[in-house]
Protein backbone atom coordinates (compact mmCIF):
# COMPACT_ATOMS: atom_id res chain seq x y z
CA UNK A 1 0.00 0.00 0.00
CA UNK A 2 1.41 3.40 -1.00
CA UNK A 3 0.08 6.94 -0.54
CA UNK A 4 -0.37 7.09 -4.32
CA UNK A 5 -3.20 4.60 -4.02
CA UNK A 6 -5.38 7.18 -2.29
CA UNK A 7 -6.96 9.63 -4.72
CA UNK A 8 -8.50 12.75 -3.22
CA UNK A 9 -11.22 14.54 -5.20
CA UNK A 10 -11.07 18.30 -5.69
CA UNK A 11 -14.83 18.60 -5.30
CA UNK A 12 -14.76 22.38 -4.86
CA UNK A 13 -16.51 25.19 -6.74
CA UNK A 14 -13.55 27.13 -8.16
CA UNK A 15 -9.85 27.14 -9.02
CA UNK A 16 -8.86 29.17 -5.98
CA UNK A 17 -10.43 26.67 -3.56
CA UNK A 18 -8.83 23.80 -5.47
CA UNK A 19 -5.35 25.30 -5.21
CA UNK A 20 -5.94 26.03 -1.51
CA UNK A 21 -6.77 22.35 -0.92
CA UNK A 22 -3.73 21.15 -2.88
CA UNK A 23 -1.56 23.52 -0.82
CA UNK A 24 -3.14 22.31 2.41
CA UNK A 25 -2.43 18.64 1.65
CA UNK A 26 1.06 18.41 0.13
CA UNK A 27 1.18 14.69 1.07
CA UNK A 28 -1.48 13.90 -1.52
CA UNK A 29 0.09 12.79 -4.81
CA UNK A 30 -3.03 11.80 -6.75
CA UNK A 31 -5.89 14.27 -7.21
CA UNK A 32 -9.23 13.87 -8.93
CA UNK A 33 -10.72 16.67 -11.00
CA UNK A 34 -14.42 16.11 -11.45
CA UNK A 35 -17.53 17.67 -12.87
CA UNK A 36 -17.92 20.54 -10.40
CA UNK A 37 -14.42 21.98 -10.76
CA UNK A 38 -13.96 21.25 -14.47
CA UNK A 39 -17.34 22.82 -15.29
CA UNK A 40 -16.58 25.98 -13.32
CA UNK A 41 -12.89 26.42 -14.09
CA UNK A 42 -11.88 24.35 -17.12
CA UNK A 43 -8.50 22.70 -17.64
CA UNK A 44 -6.29 25.27 -15.83
CA UNK A 45 -6.21 23.10 -12.69
CA UNK A 46 -4.66 20.27 -14.73
CA UNK A 47 -1.67 22.49 -15.54
CA UNK A 48 -1.40 23.53 -11.89
CA UNK A 49 -1.34 19.90 -10.76
CA UNK A 50 1.15 18.88 -13.44
CA UNK A 51 3.48 21.73 -12.51
CA UNK A 52 3.53 20.20 -9.02
CA UNK A 53 4.22 16.70 -10.35
CA UNK A 54 0.86 15.38 -9.17
CA UNK A 55 -1.00 12.50 -10.80
CA UNK A 56 -4.44 13.33 -12.18
CA UNK A 57 -7.74 11.44 -12.40
CA UNK A 58 -9.94 13.42 -14.82
CA UNK A 59 -13.39 12.22 -13.83
CA UNK A 60 -15.77 13.60 -16.46
CA UNK A 61 -17.95 10.47 -16.57
CA UNK A 62 -18.71 10.54 -20.27
CA UNK A 63 -22.08 9.11 -21.24
CA UNK A 64 -23.26 9.80 -24.78
CA UNK A 65 -23.48 8.35 -28.27
CA UNK A 66 -20.26 6.77 -29.62
CA UNK A 67 -19.32 9.67 -31.90
CA UNK A 68 -19.69 12.26 -29.14
CA UNK A 69 -17.94 10.13 -26.53
CA UNK A 70 -15.05 9.55 -28.94
CA UNK A 71 -14.64 13.29 -29.53
CA UNK A 72 -14.72 14.01 -25.80
CA UNK A 73 -12.17 11.26 -25.12
CA UNK A 74 -9.83 12.57 -27.84
CA UNK A 75 -9.94 16.02 -26.24
CA UNK A 76 -9.56 14.75 -22.68
CA UNK A 77 -6.66 12.45 -23.63
CA UNK A 78 -4.73 15.44 -24.99
CA UNK A 79 -4.32 16.82 -21.45
CA UNK A 80 -1.90 14.06 -20.45
CA UNK A 81 -3.88 12.88 -17.43
CA UNK A 82 -3.52 9.46 -15.76
CA UNK A 83 -7.13 8.27 -15.48
CA UNK A 84 -10.33 9.11 -17.38
CA UNK A 85 -13.92 7.90 -16.79
CA UNK A 86 -16.79 6.80 -18.99
CA UNK A 87 -20.09 5.18 -17.92
CA UNK A 88 -20.26 1.51 -18.91
CA UNK A 89 -23.95 2.08 -19.70
CA UNK A 90 -22.95 4.21 -22.70
CA UNK A 91 -22.78 0.74 -24.29
CA UNK A 92 -20.37 -1.41 -26.25
CA UNK A 93 -20.00 0.83 -29.29
CA UNK A 94 -19.27 3.90 -27.18
CA UNK A 95 -16.78 1.96 -25.01
CA UNK A 96 -14.91 0.73 -28.08
CA UNK A 97 -14.95 4.18 -29.67
CA UNK A 98 -13.66 5.70 -26.42
CA UNK A 99 -10.84 3.14 -26.17
CA UNK A 100 -9.62 4.03 -29.65
CA UNK A 101 -10.15 7.76 -29.18
CA UNK A 102 -7.94 8.07 -26.08
CA UNK A 103 -5.05 6.57 -28.06
CA UNK A 104 -5.63 8.95 -30.97
CA UNK A 105 -6.01 12.03 -28.75
CA UNK A 106 -2.89 11.26 -26.74
CA UNK A 107 -0.80 10.44 -29.83
CA UNK A 108 -1.86 13.66 -31.56
CA UNK A 109 -0.92 15.66 -28.46
CA UNK A 110 2.33 13.73 -27.92
CA UNK A 111 1.40 12.63 -24.40
CA UNK A 112 0.92 9.29 -22.64
CA UNK A 113 -2.66 8.00 -23.04
CA UNK A 114 -4.79 7.94 -19.88
CA UNK A 115 -6.09 4.67 -18.49
CA UNK A 116 -9.76 4.61 -19.42
CA UNK A 117 -11.99 3.25 -16.65
CA UNK A 118 -15.70 2.49 -16.80
CA UNK A 119 -18.19 3.24 -14.07
CA UNK A 120 -20.15 0.07 -13.38
CA UNK A 121 -22.86 1.47 -11.10
CA UNK A 122 -22.62 4.70 -9.13
CA UNK A 123 -21.82 4.06 -5.48
CA UNK A 124 -24.76 6.25 -4.46
CA UNK A 125 -27.24 3.67 -5.82
CA UNK A 126 -28.59 0.98 -3.50
CA UNK A 127 -29.91 -2.46 -4.49
CA UNK A 128 -33.40 -1.18 -3.84
CA UNK A 129 -32.95 1.84 -6.13
CA UNK A 130 -31.44 -0.35 -8.84
CA UNK A 131 -34.55 -2.54 -8.79
CA UNK A 132 -37.33 -0.07 -8.09
CA UNK A 133 -36.12 3.20 -9.67
CA UNK A 134 -33.84 2.04 -12.46
CA UNK A 135 -35.97 -1.07 -13.11
CA UNK A 136 -32.95 -3.33 -13.54
CA UNK A 137 -34.07 -6.87 -12.75
CA UNK A 138 -30.61 -8.22 -11.87
CA UNK A 139 -28.92 -8.53 -8.47
CA UNK A 140 -26.63 -5.55 -7.90
CA UNK A 141 -23.31 -7.48 -7.62
CA UNK A 142 -24.10 -9.35 -10.84
CA UNK A 143 -25.01 -6.11 -12.60
CA UNK A 144 -21.74 -4.40 -11.57
CA UNK A 145 -19.78 -7.46 -12.70
CA UNK A 146 -21.55 -7.60 -16.08
CA UNK A 147 -20.80 -3.90 -16.68
CA UNK A 148 -17.13 -4.45 -15.82
CA UNK A 149 -16.88 -7.50 -18.10
CA UNK A 150 -18.49 -5.65 -20.99
CA UNK A 151 -16.01 -2.77 -20.52
CA UNK A 152 -13.11 -5.22 -20.36
CA UNK A 153 -14.25 -6.92 -23.59
CA UNK A 154 -14.28 -3.51 -25.28
CA UNK A 155 -10.66 -2.85 -24.35
CA UNK A 156 -11.30 -0.48 -21.44
CA UNK A 157 -8.44 -0.56 -18.89
CA UNK A 158 -10.45 -0.86 -15.70
CA UNK A 159 -13.59 -0.11 -13.75
CA UNK A 160 -14.95 2.07 -10.99
CA UNK A 161 -16.96 0.05 -8.50
CA UNK A 162 -17.97 0.18 -4.87
CA UNK A 163 -15.72 -1.62 -2.39
CA UNK A 164 -18.53 -4.10 -1.82
CA UNK A 165 -18.15 -5.47 -5.36
CA UNK A 166 -14.40 -5.18 -5.79
CA UNK A 167 -13.45 -8.70 -4.63
CA UNK A 168 -15.73 -10.32 -7.17
CA UNK A 169 -14.55 -8.02 -9.97
CA UNK A 170 -10.91 -8.69 -9.10
CA UNK A 171 -11.47 -12.43 -9.13
CA UNK A 172 -13.29 -12.41 -12.47
CA UNK A 173 -11.51 -9.63 -14.37
CA UNK A 174 -7.98 -10.55 -13.26
CA UNK A 175 -5.05 -8.62 -11.88
CA UNK A 176 -4.37 -6.49 -14.98
CA UNK A 177 -7.78 -4.82 -14.83
CA UNK A 178 -7.56 -1.57 -12.86
CA UNK A 179 -10.14 -1.32 -10.05
CA UNK A 180 -10.89 2.07 -8.53
CA UNK A 181 -13.17 2.33 -5.49
CA UNK A 182 -15.00 5.44 -4.36
CA UNK A 183 -17.60 5.16 -1.61
CA UNK A 184 -14.86 4.37 0.89
CA UNK A 185 -15.54 5.35 4.50
CA UNK A 186 -13.39 4.98 7.61
CA UNK A 187 -15.52 3.87 10.58
CA UNK A 188 -15.33 7.40 12.05
CA UNK A 189 -16.64 9.18 8.93
CA UNK A 190 -20.17 10.04 7.80
CA UNK A 191 -21.49 7.95 4.91
CA UNK A 192 -23.28 10.92 3.32
CA UNK A 193 -24.82 9.88 -0.01
CA UNK A 194 -22.64 6.76 -0.36
CA UNK A 195 -24.72 3.57 -0.16
CA UNK A 196 -22.29 0.66 -0.59
CA UNK A 197 -19.24 1.57 1.45
CA UNK A 198 -16.48 -0.32 3.24
CA UNK A 199 -13.47 1.01 5.17
CA UNK A 200 -10.20 1.85 3.36
CA UNK A 201 -8.45 -1.25 4.75
CA UNK A 202 -11.34 -3.51 3.75
CA UNK A 203 -11.37 -2.06 0.23
CA UNK A 204 -7.64 -2.61 -0.26
CA UNK A 205 -7.82 -6.14 1.16
CA UNK A 206 -10.69 -6.89 -1.21
CA UNK A 207 -8.48 -6.00 -4.19
CA UNK A 208 -8.85 -2.29 -5.01
CA UNK A 209 -5.92 -0.68 -6.83
CA UNK A 210 -6.99 2.84 -5.88
CA UNK A 211 -9.35 4.37 -3.33
CA UNK A 212 -11.14 7.67 -3.95
CA UNK A 213 -11.68 9.32 -0.57
CA UNK A 214 -13.18 12.79 -0.47
CA UNK A 215 -15.28 14.25 2.32
CA UNK A 216 -13.82 12.13 5.14
CA UNK A 217 -10.61 14.10 4.41
CA UNK A 218 -11.65 17.32 2.69
CA UNK A 219 -14.63 18.11 4.93
CA UNK A 220 -12.82 17.15 8.15
CA UNK A 221 -12.09 19.88 10.68
CA UNK A 222 -8.42 19.04 10.17
CA UNK A 223 -7.93 17.44 6.73
CA UNK A 224 -4.27 16.65 7.33
CA UNK A 225 -5.11 14.74 10.50
CA UNK A 226 -7.84 12.79 8.70
CA UNK A 227 -5.39 11.91 5.90
CA UNK A 228 -2.81 10.72 8.43
CA UNK A 229 -5.39 8.61 10.22
CA UNK A 230 -6.37 6.88 6.97
CA UNK A 231 -2.74 6.30 5.92
CA UNK A 232 -2.03 4.86 9.38
CA UNK A 233 -5.03 2.53 9.14
CA UNK A 234 -3.79 1.36 5.76
CA UNK A 235 -0.30 0.53 7.01
CA UNK A 236 -1.96 -2.34 8.90
CA UNK A 237 -2.78 -4.01 5.56
CA UNK A 238 0.81 -3.89 4.29
O1 LIG B 1 -16.16 8.29 -10.67
C2 LIG B 1 -16.04 8.49 -9.46
O3 LIG B 1 -14.97 8.84 -8.98
C4 LIG B 1 -17.18 8.15 -8.61
C5 LIG B 1 -17.98 7.09 -9.02
C6 LIG B 1 -18.94 6.57 -8.14
O7 LIG B 1 -19.63 5.59 -8.44
N8 LIG B 1 -19.10 7.16 -6.93
C9 LIG B 1 -18.36 8.24 -6.52
O10 LIG B 1 -18.54 8.70 -5.39
N11 LIG B 1 -17.43 8.78 -7.40
C12 LIG B 1 -16.68 10.00 -7.02
O13 LIG B 1 -15.88 9.74 -5.85
C14 LIG B 1 -15.88 10.85 -4.98
C15 LIG B 1 -16.39 10.40 -3.64
O16 LIG B 1 -16.33 11.45 -2.73
P17 LIG B 1 -16.70 11.28 -1.21
O18 LIG B 1 -18.05 10.65 -1.15
O19 LIG B 1 -16.67 12.68 -0.68
O20 LIG B 1 -15.63 10.39 -0.61
C21 LIG B 1 -16.73 11.95 -5.63
O22 LIG B 1 -15.86 12.86 -6.26
C23 LIG B 1 -17.55 11.21 -6.66
O24 LIG B 1 -17.78 11.99 -7.82
Closest CA to ligand 1's atom 7: 122
Write out pLDDT tens, residues 16-26.
999 999 999 99
Whole-number pLDDT of residue 3: 85
Whole-number pLDDT of residue 236: 86
Strands (E), the chain: 6-9, 30-33, 55-62, 83-87, 115-119, 158-160, 178-181, 210-212
Task: Provide residues with CB under 6 Å of ligand 1.
Answer: 9, 11, 32, 34, 59, 61, 85, 119, 122-123, 160, 182-183, 192, 194, 212-215
79 close to 107: Cβ distance less than 8 angstroms: no
Closest CA to ligand 1's atom 6: 122
Whole-number pLDDT of residue 114: 98
ipTM reported for the complex, 2 dp: 0.99
Residue 225 has pLDDT above 90, yes or no: yes
Write out pLDDT tens, residues 3-53.
899 999 999 999 999 999 999 999 999 999 999 999 999 999 999 999 999
Counting from 1 in the atom list of ligand 1, the atom nearest the Cα of 185 is 20
Residue 238 has pLDDT above 80, yes or no: no
What's the pTM? 0.97
Pocket test for ligand 1, best of 62, 182, 184, 218 (most atoms within 8 A of CB): 182
Write out pLDDT tens, residues 100-142.
999 999 999 999 999 999 999 999 999 999 999 999 999 999 9
Mean pLDDT of the chain: 97
Report strand pairing: 210-212 vs 55-62.
unpaired
Task: Give catalytic status of residue 191 as yes or no.
Answer: no
- The alpha carbon of 202 and the centre of ligand 1 are apart by a number of angstroms equal to 17
Whole-number pLDDT of residue 2: 83
Amino acid sequence: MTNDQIIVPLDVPDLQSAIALVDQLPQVNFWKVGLELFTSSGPTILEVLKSRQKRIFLDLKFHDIPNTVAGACRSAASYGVDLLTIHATAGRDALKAATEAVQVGATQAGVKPPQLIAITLLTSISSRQLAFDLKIPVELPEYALEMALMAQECGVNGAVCSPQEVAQLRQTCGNDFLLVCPGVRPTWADKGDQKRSLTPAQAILAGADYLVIGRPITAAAEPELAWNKIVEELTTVG
